[in-house]
Structures are given as C-alpha cells and as structure tokens.
Structure 1
Amino acid sequence: MTDYTPGDVVEVRIGDQLAYVQVTHNHPSYPPVVRAFGGLHEKRPEDLDALAAGPTHFVAMIPLGSALRHVGAEHELVARVQVPDEQKKFPTFRMPIRDKKGEIVYWWFWDGQGLSYDVELDDEQKALPLREVTSGARFLEMLSSEDA
C-alpha cells in the first residue's frame, strides 16, 4: 500500500524545523522512491515548485507515510509538483554482494527492471543510493544530515 503518489511533496517536521521530500516513483514490488530536497527550513517555503526544481539531497526507498507514523514524525502532504525531468527515469540503486566473511565480492546495480554488476565501484557508482528499504528513524537522520 502506498500513501503517496509521484509528484507529492511531503513536509516532515524534525524538531523545530521542516524538511521536504518528493515521491518520484512507485514500484509494484518495492516501497516508493523518494527524493529529499536539501536543507532544513524554519517555515514552509512560499514557492514549493522552485524547491522541487532544485537539487536532490538524497534518494531512498521508503514506505513514507507508514515509516514516519511508526516513529511518530509529524508529516503532511503540502503540494503536488511535477517531478523534474532529470528525476523522471527510475534511479539505479547499488547493492553489495558479500562472501561468507562479509567482504564485498561485487556490486549489483538495479534500475527497477533488471540487474547488472561490477567488481569495483567508480565515483559515479559510489554516489548511487543503496538498494534497501529505509526505516523511518534512519530517514529522519538522513534528512537532518548534511552528508546523506
């Protein structure tokens, strides 16, 4: 079950500040894909279209509404905004494949449809989001972090 649809902008309260995220994709087998806008705000920006057109802080897979409710985070749908062109393609996620000792043997890359792999990550691949379902607590940490 999904709480939100692509284009939805959700305001998340973190202490005395507000963070903003946009649902970009729904996938039939995974939670929605969400992009976070950088920065925390004292009050809601007047132009949410401009905020959504700006840079992406991070991308994650998360059952947004239920995960935020689970950790007691206040959140609400505040706008429906066009997903920017550069975010319309389903993102590629990376996932480490480990041996019995826990060492990474190679990396899988998943684009929402198929898998590919590589033994070493280049700089572009290192920047890809991890293929994991993010918890509400971890999501709040990522929203609060400059380095997510």
Structure 2
Amino acid sequence: MTDFTPGDIVEIETDSGKAYVQVTHNHSSYPPVVRALDGLHESRPDDLEGLATGATRFVGMIPLGSALQKLGRTCEVVAHVDVPEDQKPFPTFRMPIRDKKGEIVYWWFWDGRGLSYDVELTEEQKALPLREVMSGERFLELLVNHET
C-alpha cells in the first residue's frame, strides 16, 4: 500500500492515456481525498504544477494504491505541488438518506468533522461530491469519461 501526502501528483495509466490526480487531504477514518486534474495525456506533461493549478474534474475518496493495484493499473507519484487555495478546505460531501421505498428523504452533508442536513438540494449542493469510497472501476470510468 502506498502512502500519499496532500500535494502529491499521481500519474495513472489508463487505456486512454495518462491521467493525473492530486491528493488533497488525508482523514484518519477514510481513504485519501483526491481531485482529478484535467485531461488525458499521451506522455507526462512538462508543467505538472500548471496542471495542478487548473480545473478539477471531480473530487472523490479512494484507497488509490490498492484500488488501482486490484485492477492491474500502475500509479506513481510524479510530483509534489501545493494544493491550490480553493482546494485547501476539506471538501463537503453529500449523501442521500432514503426511506424504505428508496426515495430520498433528506441529504446529509459531511465536511470531514461533522454532519448537517437539508431536505432539498440547492444547485450548489448538487455539485458536491458524493460521500462514498469509490471503487477502482468507478474511479477509472470517471477519469476517462470527459463528461463527469
């Protein structure tokens, strides 16, 4: 198992090219939080720091090393770059709470410390990542899909 540090840029081999994520946070009870950096690349970009200051495609929690290893994918820490200011606060994750019929009754919001809730999602809350530990399969799917 690889230990990752916030700021690490991790290169991931996919069938569509090299993808890059930045580890943004570690939490004592969950796997690392990562942000997927924009684009798929034929070769490693010269300016990884520039890539890290660019757009975030999605944010998720994943046991990165072990999840990719189970899929036979390689990953490697290729740089360490400061986490951008707008990504430094621990992200808020959303989680639906359902009734016995499977209907969403309300939403929990978790900021790494505590929970809050709301009955209806605002447009801003709809963009929050789900509070889930991603599978390697789902993670790779999101990495190679341009419409996250």
- The alignment's TM-score, normalised by the length of structure 2, stands at 0.97
How far the C-alpha of 1:139 sits from its partner, in A, is 0.4
Question: Where do residues 1-148 of structure 1 align in structure 2 (5 Å cutoff)?
Answer: 3-148=3-148
Q: What percentage of aligned pairs have identical amino acids?
A: 71
How far the C-alpha of 1:74 sits from its partner, in A, is 1.6
CA–CA separation in structure 1 for the residues paired with 2:2 and 2:91: 19
Is the 1:91–1:112 Cα contact (8 Å) retained in structure 2?
A: yes
Question: Structure 1 pair 129/34, CA: closer, same or farther in 2 (3 Å)?
Answer: same
Point out where structure 1 has 5 or more consecutive residues left out of the alignment.
Answer: none
Is the 2:37–2:52 Cα contact (8 Å) retained in structure 1?
A: yes
Aligned-partner residue type, residue 111 of structure 1: D
Is the 1:2–1:32 Cα contact (8 Å) retained in structure 2?
A: no
CA–CA separation in structure 2 for the residues paired with 1:135 and 1:145: 15
CA–CA separation in structure 1 for the residues paired with 2:18 and 2:2: 22
Q: Which runs of 4+ in 1 moved over 4 A?
A: none
Aligned-CA RMSD value: 1.0
Is the 2:9–2:20 Cα contact (8 Å) retained in structure 1?
A: yes
Total equivalences in the alignment: 148
How far the C-alpha of 1:3 sits from its partner, in A, is 2.0
Is the 1:2–1:63 Cα contact (8 Å) retained in structure 2?
A: no
SS of residue in 2 equivalent to 1:143: helix
How far the C-alpha of 1:147 sits from its partner, in A, is 2.0
Aligned-partner residue type, residue 13 of structure 1: E
SS of residue in 1 equivalent to 2:109: strand
Cα shift readout 1:55-83 (whole Å, capped 9, x = no counterpart): 10000000111111011112111001100
CA–CA separation in structure 1 for the residues paired with 2:115 and 2:104: 17
CA–CA separation in structure 1 for the residues paired with 2:147 and 2:31: 23
Is the 2:16–2:144 Cα contact (8 Å) retained in structure 1?
A: no
CA–CA separation in structure 2 for the residues paired with 1:133 and 1:66: 12
